[in-house]
């Protein structure tokens, strides 16, 4: 996946992804096996703790969806 394809996917996603501060990047990177993503987007955290986080690194998109 190119960066342009990633950015287009983010822009078209119906959940209104926004640039992400990467507060859970350590948690996600250990489980998804990546380091220091080039770009990250996420939804606002829902009342149930649910959040979609999307990372891009070396041509690969990583998705994390968590509910706490």
Residue 52: the pLDDT is: 96
54 close to 5: Cβ distance less than 8 angstroms = no
Q: Regarding beta strands 60-66 and 18-19, do their DSSP bridges make them parallel or antiparallel, or are they unpaired? A: unpaired
Tell me the domain boundaries of the chain.
3-66
Residue 41: the pLDDT is: 98
Token reading at 42: 């996420």
Token reading at 3: 């960066």
Label residue 66 by pLDDT band (50, 70, 90).
confident
Residue 2: the pLDDT is: 97
The pLDDT tens digits for 10-64 are 999 999 999 999 889 999 999 999 999 999 999 999 998 899 999 999 999 999 9
Q: What is the pTM of this model?
A: 0.90
């Amino acid at each position: 996946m190119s960066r342009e394809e990633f950015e287009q996917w983010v822009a078209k996603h119906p959940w209104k992804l926004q640039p992400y501060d990467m507060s859970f990047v350590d948690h996600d990177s250990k489980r998804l096996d990546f380091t220091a993503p080039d770009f990250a987007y996420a939804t606002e955290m829902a009342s149930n703790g649910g959040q979609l986080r999307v990372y891009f690194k070396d041509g690969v998109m990583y998705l994390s969806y968590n509910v706490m």
